[in-house]
Amino acid sequence: MRGWARAGAAIIVFLLMAGGTSLFIRYAMNRTPVTPLKDKAPEWATDPRVPGANTPPQGRSLFDFLVSEHDSSGAHYAVPFPFSELVARIERELAVQTPSGVKRVLIPLGRSLQRSAAAPEYYKFPRAVLAVDGEPAAQSRMLLKDRLYLGYQEKAGIIEVISYNESAGRFEFQIVKDYRADGARQVFYANRALCITCHQSASPIFSRPLWDETSANPLIAARLAQEKRDYYGFPVEPVSDVAYAIDNAGDRANLYGAYQRIWQEACAAPSVSATPDAAAFQCRADILRAALQYRLTGLRGFDSASLRYRQHLAQLRINWQTRWPEGLAIPDNDLPNRNPFMNVVTGALTAQPLPALNTLTLERGSEASAEIPAQLEPLKLRTPGQIWSAARTDDLTRVVGGVAEFFSERDIDALDSALGATTAAVQRQSLACEIVTQDKAVLDIRCGRHPGMFFSARLKPRARTVAIDAPAWAWSDNAAWTYLDAQAVHVAHSAATTQIQFRLRDTVSQRRLHDVAGNALAGLTLSWDKRTPTRGTLTTTITQDSARIERALEQMIAQAQQGNSDVLTQRPFRRAAVMPVLLQAFDAGVPTAWCCLEDKLLPAIQVDTANTEQASADADIQLFQHYCARCHDTQEAFPPNFLHGAPAQVATQIGQCADRILFRLSMPEHAADTRAKTPMPPGYALAGMDIAEVDWIMHADRARLKRYAAAHASMPAAALMLQPYESLGPCLMAHPGQYH
Question: Of the given ranges (46-55, 175-184, 548-557, 683-692), which has the lowest mean pLDDT?
Answer: 683-692
Question: What is the C-alpha to C-alpha distance for residues 635 and 658, in angstroms, rounded to an integer?
Answer: 20
Which H or E run includes 466?
strand 466-475
Helix/strand/coil percentages in the chain, nearest 5: 30, 20, 50
pLDDT above 70 for 27: no
Compute the mean pLDDT over every residue in the chain, rounded to the nearest whole number: 83
The answer to whether residue 375 scores a pLDDT higher than 60 is yes
Separation CA 268–CA 283 (nearest Å): 8
pLDDT of residue 588: 75
What φ, ψ does residue 649 adopt, rounded to 5°? Answer: -65, -40
Cα separation of 387 and 632, whole Å?
33
* pLDDT, mean of residues 573-577: 95
Residue 634 CB-half CA count within 13 A: 22
Measured CA to CA, the distance from residue 538 to residue 546 in angstroms comes to 23
Mean pLDDT score, 603-621: 79
Q: Cβ distance 661 to 708 under 8 Å?
A: no
Preceding amide of 596 cis, omega within 30: yes
The more confidently predicted of residues 699 and 486 is 699
Q: When comparing pLDDT for 511 and 173, which is higher? A: 173
What DSSP state is assigned to residue 211? Answer: -
Work out the average pLDDT over 509-513: 83
- CA-based nearest residue to 334, from 255, 424, 224: 255
Q: What average pLDDT does this structure show over 240-251?
A: 96
The pLDDT of residue 478 is above 50: no
| Winning range, highest mean pLDDT, from 49-53, 147-151, 418-422 | 147-151
Lowest mean pLDDT across 68-82, 250-264, 465-479, 642-656: 465-479
For residues 641 and 651, give the distance between their C-alpha atoms in angstroms, rounded to a whole number.
Answer: 12
Among the listed residues 326, 314, 376, the one whose alpha carbon sits nearest the alpha carbon of residue 38:
326
Please, which residues have CB within 8 angstroms of residue 724's CB and are 6 or more apart in sequence? 344, 676
Q: Above 60 in pLDDT, residue 319?
A: yes
As a whole-number percent, the residues of the chain with pLDDT over 70 amount to 82
Q: Check: CB of residue 189 under 8 Å from CB of residue 91.
A: no
Show Cβ contacts of residue 160 under 8 Å, excluding neighbours closer than 6 positions. Answer: 112, 113, 114, 150, 151, 152, 153, 173, 174, 175, 190
Identify whether 724 is preceded by a cis peptide bond (ω within 30 of 0): no
Residue 310 confidence (pLDDT) above 60 = yes
Among the ranges given (365-369, 551-555, 735-739), the one the predictor scored with the smallest mean pLDDT: 735-739
pLDDT in tens, 110-133: 999 888 889 899 999 999 999 999
The reported pTM is 0.85
pLDDT > 80? residue 345: no
Q: What is the spatial distance between Cα 493 and Cα 256, in angstroms, rounded to a whole number?
A: 56
Question: Which stretches within 297-353 are classed as H helix?
Answer: 307-323
What sign does the dihedral 389-395-397-402 (CA atoms) show?
Answer: negative
Residue 128 three-state SS: strand
pLDDT confidence of residue 734: 45
- Residues with Cβ within 8 Å of 89's Cβ and at least 6 positions away in sequence, in order, are 66, 67, 80
Packing angle of the helix pair 409-420, 278-296 (nearest 10 deg): 90
Q: What is the pLDDT of residue 17?
A: 36
180 SS3 class: coil
Task: Say whether pLDDT at 365 is over 60.
Answer: no
For residues 518-544, give the mean pLDDT. Answer: 86
From CA 398, how far away is CA 234, in angstroms rounded? 35
Non-local (6+) Cβ contacts of 697 within 8 A are 668, 669
* Closest alpha carbon to 552 in 423, 419, 422: 419
pLDDT band at 380 (very low <50, low <70, confident <90, very high): confident
Does pLDDT of 24 surpass 90?
Answer: no
Helices and strands counted in the chain (H then E): 22, 23
Query: Model confidence at 488, in pLDDT bands (50, 70, 90)?
Result: low
Confidence at residue 736, expressed as pLDDT on a 0 to 100 scale = 37
Tell me, what's the pLDDT at 355?
A: 38
